Protein backbone atom coordinates (compact mmCIF):
# COMPACT_ATOMS: atom_id res chain seq x y z
CA UNK A 1 0.00 0.00 0.00
CA UNK A 2 3.01 2.26 -0.35
CA UNK A 3 2.19 5.65 -1.86
CA UNK A 4 -1.44 5.36 -0.82
CA UNK A 5 -2.93 8.01 1.44
CA UNK A 6 -3.54 6.80 5.01
CA UNK A 7 -6.97 8.41 4.70
CA UNK A 8 -7.89 5.92 1.96
CA UNK A 9 -8.70 3.36 4.66
CA UNK A 10 -11.25 5.82 6.07
CA UNK A 11 -13.20 7.20 3.10
CA UNK A 12 -15.60 9.08 5.36
CA UNK A 13 -12.85 11.41 6.67
CA UNK A 14 -12.47 13.49 3.46
CA UNK A 15 -16.28 13.73 3.31
CA UNK A 16 -16.42 15.02 6.89
CA UNK A 17 -13.56 17.46 6.30
CA UNK A 18 -15.32 18.88 3.21
CA UNK A 19 -18.51 19.42 5.17
CA UNK A 20 -17.16 20.94 8.39
CA UNK A 21 -18.52 24.45 8.85
CA UNK A 22 -20.78 24.33 5.82
CA UNK A 23 -18.03 23.25 3.44
CA UNK A 24 -15.71 26.12 4.33
CA UNK A 25 -12.09 25.18 4.71
CA UNK A 26 -10.40 25.58 8.07
CA UNK A 27 -7.80 28.34 8.32
CA UNK A 28 -4.72 29.04 10.38
CA UNK A 29 -3.70 32.58 11.25
CA UNK A 30 -0.22 33.57 12.35
CA UNK A 31 0.06 36.99 13.98
CA UNK A 32 3.47 38.63 14.32
CA UNK A 33 4.08 41.90 16.12
CA UNK A 34 6.83 43.84 17.83
CA UNK A 35 6.77 42.80 21.49
CA UNK A 36 5.79 46.38 22.38
CA UNK A 37 2.38 45.74 20.74
CA UNK A 38 1.66 42.35 22.33
CA UNK A 39 -0.85 43.87 24.76
CA UNK A 40 -2.74 45.47 21.85
CA UNK A 41 -2.94 42.13 20.07
CA UNK A 42 -4.22 40.43 23.21
CA UNK A 43 -6.86 43.17 23.59
CA UNK A 44 -8.01 42.54 20.00
CA UNK A 45 -8.27 38.80 20.68
CA UNK A 46 -10.29 39.45 23.84
CA UNK A 47 -12.56 41.89 21.99
CA UNK A 48 -13.21 39.17 19.40
CA UNK A 49 -13.87 36.47 22.00
CA UNK A 50 -10.80 34.50 20.95
CA UNK A 51 -9.42 32.68 23.97
CA UNK A 52 -7.65 29.93 22.01
CA UNK A 53 -4.14 30.44 20.65
CA UNK A 54 -0.52 29.39 20.93
CA UNK A 55 1.86 32.23 21.73
CA UNK A 56 5.62 32.45 21.29
CA UNK A 57 7.64 35.29 22.81
CA UNK A 58 11.18 36.50 22.07
CA UNK A 59 10.71 35.61 18.37
CA UNK A 60 13.48 36.89 16.13
CA UNK A 61 13.21 37.73 12.47
CA UNK A 62 12.94 40.23 9.66
CA UNK A 63 10.05 40.88 7.30
CA UNK A 64 10.00 42.20 3.74
CA UNK A 65 11.02 45.84 3.85
CA UNK A 66 11.07 46.02 7.66
CA UNK A 67 13.77 46.36 10.26
CA UNK A 68 15.26 43.21 11.78
CA UNK A 69 14.23 42.29 15.33
CA UNK A 70 17.04 40.02 16.46
CA UNK A 71 17.43 40.93 20.13
CA UNK A 72 21.01 42.11 19.61
CA UNK A 73 22.75 45.43 20.14
CA UNK A 74 22.85 46.01 16.38
CA UNK A 75 19.25 44.87 15.81
CA UNK A 76 17.39 45.40 19.09
CA UNK A 77 13.87 44.29 19.82
CA UNK A 78 12.07 41.00 19.38
CA UNK A 79 8.63 39.93 18.23
CA UNK A 80 5.71 38.01 19.63
CA UNK A 81 3.97 35.43 17.44
CA UNK A 82 0.58 33.80 17.84
CA UNK A 83 -0.94 30.84 16.02
CA UNK A 84 -4.74 30.53 15.93
CA UNK A 85 -6.77 27.78 14.26
CA UNK A 86 -10.16 28.79 12.86
CA UNK A 87 -13.13 26.65 11.90
CA UNK A 88 -15.32 29.77 11.88
CA UNK A 89 -14.56 31.92 8.83
CA UNK A 90 -16.53 34.87 10.23
CA UNK A 91 -14.42 34.96 13.42
CA UNK A 92 -11.24 35.12 11.33
CA UNK A 93 -12.66 37.85 9.10
CA UNK A 94 -13.63 39.93 12.14
CA UNK A 95 -10.12 39.50 13.59
CA UNK A 96 -8.57 40.65 10.30
CA UNK A 97 -10.77 43.76 10.31
CA UNK A 98 -9.96 44.56 13.94
CA UNK A 99 -6.22 44.19 13.36
CA UNK A 100 -6.55 46.56 10.40
CA UNK A 101 -8.26 49.08 12.69
CA UNK A 102 -5.58 48.64 15.36
CA UNK A 103 -2.85 49.20 12.76
CA UNK A 104 -4.34 52.61 11.92
CA UNK A 105 -3.18 53.70 15.39
CA UNK A 106 0.41 52.54 14.80
CA UNK A 107 2.35 55.32 13.09
CA UNK A 108 5.36 53.44 11.71
CA UNK A 109 4.59 50.90 8.98
CA UNK A 110 7.47 48.73 10.27
CA UNK A 111 5.69 48.39 13.61
CA UNK A 112 2.29 47.33 12.29
CA UNK A 113 0.81 44.02 13.35
CA UNK A 114 1.02 41.34 10.66
CA UNK A 115 -1.50 38.54 10.12
CA UNK A 116 -0.69 35.65 7.79
CA UNK A 117 -3.58 33.37 6.81
CA UNK A 118 -2.95 29.86 5.50
CA UNK A 119 -5.12 26.80 4.84
CA UNK A 120 -5.40 24.34 7.69
CA UNK A 121 -5.48 20.77 6.41
CA UNK A 122 -6.18 18.92 9.62
CA UNK A 123 -6.64 19.25 13.38
CA UNK A 124 -6.25 16.13 15.49
- For the domain spanning 24-119, the CATH number is 3.30.70.120
As a whole number of angstroms, the distance between CA 66 and CA 16 comes to 41
Element (H, E) at 91: helix 89-104
| SS3 of residue 55 by DSSP | strand
* Opening angle at CA 35, ends 111 and 103, nearest 5: 35
For the chain, which residues make up each domain, given as ranges?
Answer: 24-119
Would you call 79 helix, strand, or coil by DSSP? strand
pLDDT category of residue 25 using cuts at 50, 70 and 90? confident
Q: What is the DSSP letter of 24?
A: P
For residues 94, 97, 101, 106, the Cα torsion angle rounded to the nearest 10 degrees is 110
The gap from C-alpha 75 to its chain's centroid, in whole angstroms, comes to 24
pTM score of the predicted model: 0.79
pLDDT bin (cut points 50, 70, 90) of residue 14 is: low
Using only the alpha carbons of the chain, give its radius of gyration: 18
- Summarised one tens digit per residue, pLDDT across range 105-123 is 999 988 999 999 999 988 8
Amino acid sequence: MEGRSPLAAFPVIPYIMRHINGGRAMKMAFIVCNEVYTSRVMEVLEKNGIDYYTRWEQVKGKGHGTEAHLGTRSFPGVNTMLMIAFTDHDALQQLIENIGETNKGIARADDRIRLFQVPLERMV
